Amino acid sequence: MLYYIKKYPFSLTVILTVTYLSFFTPPSIDIPLFKGVDKAVHLCMYAGLSGMLWVEFLRNHRKGGLSVKRAIAGAVVCPVLFGGLIELGQAGLTQHRGGDPLDFLANTAGVLIASLVAWYVLRPVIVKRD
């Protein structure tokens, strides 16, 4: 566990933040927001989560060689599963939140967008630094 705290501190912070934001009772505000703002927030949260996992993974493993399977498991599959578990938790464990399949799709879209950017933009830059 200490290994992950040392190697992935920002990712763990983002995971804790997303978990908190997913279960806390938000304040009611009377600011008019655009339709679909909730889905945009989900997309951004999970793009940030996956993106941070990619950045720390690429940084930590650039010298030892990149395991594509491990990277995909940690920065794509795990965040998608995490998003699904959060939606199930919201549906079953809270009174003020509900699980929404469209939220799960927005979470997954955020993970996929961040993964594409990380693989095709960040990876070449980080690997080239060595």
Model confidence pLDDT, tens digit, residues 34-70? 778 889 999 999 999 999 999 999 988 877 667 889 9
Query: Within a domain: residue 8?
Result: yes
Q: Model confidence over 85-98: pLDDT tens digits?
A: 999 999 998 887 78
- The Cβ-side half-sphere exposure at 59, using a 13 Å CA radius, reads 12
Assess if residue 30 is contained within a domain: no
The number of distinct structural domains making up the chain is: 1
pTM exceeds 0.95: no
Whose CA is closest to 83, among 58, 123, 48?
Answer: 48
Q: Is residue 40 part of a domain?
A: yes
What is the number of other CB atoms lying within 10 angstroms of the CB of residue 123? 17
69: its two tokens: 């399977």
13 within domain boundaries: yes
> Residue 48 is part of which domain span?
2-23+35-128
* Distance from C-alpha of 125 to C-alpha of 66, rounded to nearest angstrom: 14
Q: Looking at 4-8, 29-33, 54-58, 98-102, which range is the least confident one?
A: 29-33
d(CA 42, CA 114): 13
Determine how many CB atoms are found less than 10 A away from the CB of residue 6: 9
Asked whether residue 28 is assigned to any structural domain, the reply reads: no
Contacting residues for 122 by C-beta, under 8 A, at least 6 apart: 54, 55, 58
Residue 29: inside a domain: no
